[in-house]
Each structure stands twice: as structure tokens, then as C-alpha cells.
Structure 1
């Protein structure tokens, strides 16, 4: 079964001061096997002070986590995790991960892109045309992979063998596609493409539906759809006035990352700072 993935991520960094600082959050990964009714810890094999940068589910239902300082981890059941990364730099700071075709791609801080063709066992560099810049996010189409970087949008049409700069010299936060329009959240506003990323233009003021500066979210529906409230540790299925829930979740953990896998729903927090 092909895994469905939901992710809701605030791309804006959360900055707090001494007058409005939330309690120190707990850390970790939690899993629900009953559509979010209850949650249990699911972090066996993960470092205690976990700082997740991205995660995804591959076609064979393996889940992958990338971290800022602790490497890459893989799980086949969502409960226990093994560190992988043969071929990755020891000091890699992974910022993004995606599945494209039968391959896995990792975007890193200042070291470009790495690809695995064997379910994460081994990795090799795939950064031709990128100059080892920061790669923050990906978007996969059938025959094209987009990379959001610190210097705009790049694309590869040969499974990462080479990359071409498409547009911009700005920070790309994430990609979204809805109703045939591909959008990219940036530090200068929202870029839009109506021809599958061939050309890009700025969204007009009338098209922007989020405040400025915009918190950028990524959502892919599951069944039932769920709402994640960062800094609240609260989830709510979006149906029939159902009350807010967080059964079993720490009240002071700032959840802002959710992943639906074949073996359950995983939640955790995304690293970030001022």
C-alpha cells in the first residue's frame, strides 16, 4: 500500500522573548494507531535530544527522519529506529528529505543534495549545478524534482544528476500544489506557477490568503483530516464540531510536524530558533 503523508509545518521560525516564553518543551516522537485518539512514545533508537528537520515515507512503507546534527534514521514499524547514512558526510546537517521515483533525496545545509537508490543504505552526492548551497525543501513531479534553496528554485529532470536554476535569489521555505497551481513560500512572498514549474511569478495581493510574514504550512489529506496546533500539542479531526484532543501527548510540547504512515500517525516537533 502506498503510504499517504500528511505534514503541517510552520516555516516561520518561532522567536520568543523573556516576557512571552512558553515552558521548555519535551522532545521526542509519538505515534497513534487509532486516528489520533491516543498517543504513545515511538522513539526507540533515536537520540534523546531530538531535533528533527524533515521526514517522509518511502514506497516500501519505510519511514525516514533527518535531523540537524544527528544524521538520518529509518523505521519499518514507526516504533524503533536505526541510524543509516553510508556515504553521507559525518557532519551533515540535513534539512529536507523526499521520495522521487524509486530514489530518496536529502537536502543539506551548505553541502548540497545527496541521493540513495537502495532505500537509504548508501548515499552519493547529487549536487551538480548547485554549488553546495543550502537546500531547504523539495517538490516531486513525475519527471521533475524541484529543490528550494537559499538562492531560489532549482529543478532536475534526470533524477538529480544535474540541476538548473529556474528563478529567484531568495530563500525558499516550501512548495505547495493545489488546483493545478504550484506555489513556493519565500522570505519575500509567494511565487506561483501555473505550468507545472516551467515559469514562475509573484502572487498578487488579492491571491495571498495568509498574513504577512506568512506562516507557511504543508497539508496532505488523510482520513480523517487533522489539524495540528503548534505550541499547543492539540489535534482535532476536521469534522462535525469534534472537540480538541491530545490524549497522551505532553501538554508543553510544541508539535508542528505530523506524518501519516501505514503503521500509524507520528507527531514530533521541528527544530528552529531565532
Structure 2
């Protein structure tokens, strides 16, 4: 009987460990989606990616509440770069601009690094809301999307001024001269670099992500439903006839595009045909990043 209980105890201990190891937070493909392999060595286990960016040939990643990590060996391993960041900071947005690296945090404002993330310092002067969800830059101005609207900076993040307020800004994209913002009240657009904003055709439902794709703009609502516009946001159509049910698309002639974050579908649009997903786990994906070393996708935990 003691042996029986001992075996049960080993199983109880072992099962979570095995399940825990099944999903890396990051996977990479070097052949445009035909095969995938884990790329999260050195990252905290059981975590997920909040944001990432390319900065001076390095991939910078923010991981759950573990701060920021980088890889200096072409994604073979990762190391933390958190000196100066608040302990346990949740970094929801990252931006690379020339020599600068900006981190937008949950409830701690904006931090800036002048040395590739080796050290950070606060850069929140003028910021009226300290939860920063997204960034955008056109090299002249930096936009910060917060829980209380958009703030802009013309001095590389040294100071911030508000523009549109009382909106949660989840994502930005630039498309044919227009900056689009995915907000908790639909889609907004700016034709002057982010100083003035108007509703862009769809002003209901919370939008989680937005991107340009060829001659279309695509955004996704929380919960997974996606919409597409071919007239610069004047009208929006259900994206299902355009993109079917796959989670993300990779083609040789188009940027990788995440169609519906959190959707548990593993098909990849490759050479105009739906193909399999060799090496990917049965899990939802929330991020895509094109790098010189391959295309990365990040596993999420649910909506």
C-alpha cells in the first residue's frame, strides 16, 4: 500500500511538470511556417509574451510580470535586462527608435534605455495615466497609448502631452498616411501624425489589435472576431470571408499578420494555401514578429 501511495505521489508531482514543459512561450520558423521549434531557452517557464521588438539586431521581449529579456546569440538563449525597472514590472509595450528603447508598463509609466536595455530610467513627465499599452513612432513623434487616451512626445520621450482622452488605446498601426488606433470603443484614426483623432467607421466593441495588410486594414476585437476595411476605415466588413479560420498568416510577399489573437486555430496561410503547423502546440497565439533569424510567434494564455 505504501508503494501504491508513493507511485500516486510521483504521478501527481510529475504530471504538472510534464504539462508545464509542453509549451514554450516562443516558437520560431526559419522556413516561412513549414516547421516550427521552441525558442524560449532561458525565459521563465509557464509565462507568456506581453510585447516584443527588434532593436539594433537584437530581439527584445517582455515576459508577463518578469520584466524584459533579450537574446544576443540569435535566439538560442535569453537573459534579463531589468536594471532600473520597477521590481516585477509588467511591461505591456516596447518601442525601438534609433538609439532609444522605450518600455510602457502597467501602472508604472514609461521607462527609457539609451544602451539597448542594459539600464532603464523613468520617462513619464507629463503622462496623465501610468498604464501604457502601446507605442507608435514615425521618427518625428512618439505616440503612447494609455488607459486614458493618447500622449505624444516630440523630444524622444523626455516629456509627453495629451491628445485624445477617455479611451483605452490597445494598439496602433500606420497605413497609407493614416495612423489607426484600436481602442476600447472601436477604431479611431489620425491624419496628422496623432495630434487629432476621429472615429474610423467602427465605434463599437473593444478592439485588441490592428494592422495593415496589402490594400486592407484588419482589426480584431477582444474575443476573436475580426473586421477588414478596403476604404481606409470608412466601412468595415466581417473578415471571415477574407481570412477564414486561421490564427495567423505568413506569405513570402506580405508581412506576417495576426488575424485573431487567442483563437485556438493552427493553420498557416503559406504560398496562398492553408497548410499544417508542424512543431506548434495546440494553444492560442498572441504575437508575431519578423526577425533576421526567422518569424517568431508567442503562445498566450487566453482572452
Question: Is 1:70 the counterpart of 2:63 in the alignment?
Answer: no
CA RMSD of aligned residues (A): 2.3
> Gaps (5+ residues) in structure 1?
1-23
> Given the alignment, which residue of 266, 269, 274 partners 2:299?
269
> Given the alignment, which residue of 88, 91, 100 partners 2:88?
91
Change (3 A) 1:111 1:212: closer
TM-score, structure 1 as length reference: 0.81
Give the 3-state SS of the residue equivalent to 2:139 in structure 1: coil
Q: Is the 8 A contact 2:141 2:193 kept in 1?
A: no
Partner of 1:236: 269
Q: How far did 1:70 drift?
A: 1.1
> Given the alignment, which residue of 246, 252, 261 partners 1:223?
252
Aligned residues: 243
Larger RCO, structures 1/2 (Cα 8 Å, 6+ apart): 1
CA distance in 2, matches of 1:236, 1:218: 16
| Rg larger in structure | 2
Q: How does 1:102-181 map to 2 (within 5 A)?
A: 102-131=99-128, 133-181=130-178
CA distance in 1, matches of 2:210, 2:163: 23
> Gaps (5+ residues) in structure 2?
1-19, 215-250
TM-score, structure 2 as length reference: 0.74
CA distance in 2, matches of 1:215, 1:125: 26
Which is further off, 158-167 or 195-204? 195-204
Q: Is the 8 A contact 1:112 1:131 kept in 2?
A: no
Give deviations 1:105-142, integer Å, cap 9, x for gaps.
00001100000010110100000011451000000111
CA distance in 2, matches of 1:194, 1:54: 26
Give deviations 1:206-260, integer Å, cap 9, x for gaps.
xx8xx844453335787343454631133212x44x222211111x211121111
Question: Is 1:43 the counterpart of 2:40 in the alignment?
Answer: yes
Larger helix share, 1 or 2: 2
Larger strand share, 1 or 2: 2
